[in-house]
Structure 1
């Protein structure tokens, strides 16, 4: 298992071993003076057509425009995101290999999988958080509750009886259930499904009373009146659902786990290159047209403070700690 250090180091190793051989610092500095002078690849560690891939295709044109070079998306699915993540972690640290990473491979898998072939905090350098896709608690319309407070009261009156679905064991949805149960003392019964949205038929029929889902899956159903979203995993309320309380209001630290998406590079990438990438990403994210299109997918563009190496690094630390706490509660933590 890859162990996570307690902090993200500012100083990185001077010599990085990669598939291309040894990259000497002096060589990298000389190369960075001309960066970028060829196309850049953005590795998406999941297949085409998913939420991560959709957001990548919205973001890359703006980055390419500002860097003056094409940004080519490379889908490398496998092992829950680990395959593509490892590919970038082992790549030459020259700024031409970027990772569009998310919490599964970055802050959850290293805690619950026996063997993860990279160390997030050691092998990857955060450049900018780009998007957040909150987890939401969805209840069946056949359940006699309309608010989060009513659901908590309903579940407390039936200890060990109320089931709550997720996209699978060890997902952020599952760990969010554990954090919510711990904060409220509800003791929800976790029911793992095979993927995001797979619980929907059971929610609609009333066979499943509740599910923790990504907002991109649940919000269209909520708007159509097929299910109810009663809680959202953010530090505060979302502009997408201003009337729905945050889990933070129930005592869940920072509102719990958020499905985040950000760009990282191999550790050892020169600071001037990281700076150019950060500026291009920040400019792309500030485009009102991009923000409008992202909101159409029911995701949120990260704020300016988070779209920095320091801001994204702090989020990674926070998410890793919350994930560790939730994985321990679920009995999934690998030591």
Structure 2
């Protein structure tokens, strides 16, 4: 075996020192308050995942994990703030999929590049979307609804929680697959969209199961179909789009944990391990059950692949539907 040169020994020494330094840093992290940015207004679906995670991380790691709701720009403003922050593990992001895999294709100019500026840590929730209608709509299943929309000859609209949201893009996927003429009516969140649906101002909307379930249970809306691959245990009598004849309409609103690129790998792995531990606890298991989500905790590497695949999928939907930011 040949002896290593002095230069090679120096480089190996530097690498070993850097590895030990990163590992030691991860062991001492966190040593101050950690800010978890949620790029949406308080009370939204992202909070449903973020707040219990932050609470348990605070308890388990003995440092405050503070939620910072920074809404605006379809999730871009808060997400960009995290992307530009110091990669020391003290600023993290919990968000829906919109600013990560939809907005880059939908917005002409993005304030950050999700694929380069953020590191995926783990998926937290994956929630099916539901197509619901106002009781006045004369349709009780998907085939009847499609026939009714065709009869309107372009004078039909659907509501969503806002441009670029999974709700909007699922509507565009549905419109693209069926060839129906439908006008998108974006709202600033699920709550005002649901309010107008209940008031009969819009005929149908796509929304996450989290937000719309109370109104389904009260009978104030008709449920047409769910966008999951299989029927939801929360709505066992409601068919999937595939069962109703549209296998291409599969969609989820998912919520994930991210850190700025450059955050040391040992810290990413530590956050991942601590978060997965929390997700397996009864408190978070109940959240999964209540939202119709399967357990989706994963390794950073697998989650990164999932995010990449989702980016490709929604980029194609945006292109084929011609969707734009309203």
With the length of structure 1 as denominator, give the TM-score of the two structures. 0.81
Match of 2:225 in 1: 231
Match of 2:157 in 1: 163
* Unmatched 5+ stretches in structure 2: 1-17
Match of 1:136 in 2: 130
Aligned match for 1:321, one of 299, 312, 315: 312
> Separation in 2 of the partners of 1:49 and 1:168?
16
- 1:192-230 Cα deviation digits (max 9, x unpaired): 344323344543354532112222332111111111121
- 1:231-265 Cα deviation digits (max 9, x unpaired): 12222222221222223444454712x22111111
Match of 1:50 in 2: 44
Q: Return the offset for 1:270.
A: 2.1
The aligned runs of 1:2-151 (5 Å cut-off) are 28-151=22-145
| Greater Cα shift, 196-205 or 228-237 | 196-205
Match of 2:295 in 1: 303
> Separation in 1 of the partners of 2:293 and 2:36?
18
**8 Å CA contact retained: 1:45, 1:76:** yes
**8 Å CA contact retained: 2:173, 2:321:** no
The aligned runs of 1:170-189 (5 Å cut-off) are 170-189=164-183
> Separation in 2 of the partners of 1:288 and 1:101?
22
> Separation in 2 of the partners of 1:153 and 1:93?
53
Q: Return the offset for 1:312.
A: 2.2
SS at match of 1:263: strand
> Separation in 2 of the partners of 1:126 and 1:70?
22
SS at match of 1:155: helix
**8 Å CA contact retained: 1:131, 1:300:** no
Judged with a 3 Å threshold, the aligned counterparts in structure 2 of structure 1 residues 128 and 274 are, in CA distance, closer, same or farther, namely same
> Separation in 1 of the partners of 2:324 and 2:197?
29
Moved over 6 A (4+): none
Q: Determine which structure has the larger helix proportion and give its number.
A: 2
- 1:81-128 Cα deviation digits (max 9, x unpaired): 222211221222222221102222112222222221211011111001
Judged with a 3 Å threshold, the aligned counterparts in structure 2 of structure 1 residues 142 and 273 are, in CA distance, closer, same or farther, namely same
**8 Å CA contact retained: 2:50, 2:94:** yes
**8 Å CA contact retained: 1:32, 1:94:** no
> Separation in 2 of the partners of 1:331 and 1:219?
30
**8 Å CA contact retained: 1:141, 1:226:** yes
SS at match of 1:198: helix
> Separation in 1 of the partners of 2:34 and 2:189?
31
**8 Å CA contact retained: 2:173, 2:249:** no
> Separation in 1 of the partners of 2:67 and 2:185?
34
Judged with a 3 Å threshold, the aligned counterparts in structure 2 of structure 1 residues 301 and 181 are, in CA distance, closer, same or farther, namely closer
> Separation in 2 of the partners of 1:131 and 1:74?
19
Match of 2:210 in 1: 216
Judged with a 3 Å threshold, the aligned counterparts in structure 2 of structure 1 residues 254 and 74 are, in CA distance, closer, same or farther, namely same
**8 Å CA contact retained: 1:55, 1:294:** no
Judged with a 3 Å threshold, the aligned counterparts in structure 2 of structure 1 residues 318 and 228 are, in CA distance, closer, same or farther, namely farther
Alignment RMSD: 2.6
Counting matched residue pairs gives: 307
**8 Å CA contact retained: 2:87, 2:261:** yes
- 1:277 equivalent to 2:268? Answer no
> Separation in 2 of the partners of 1:203 and 1:101?
25
Q: Return the offset for 1:274.
A: 1.3
**8 Å CA contact retained: 1:126, 1:312:** yes
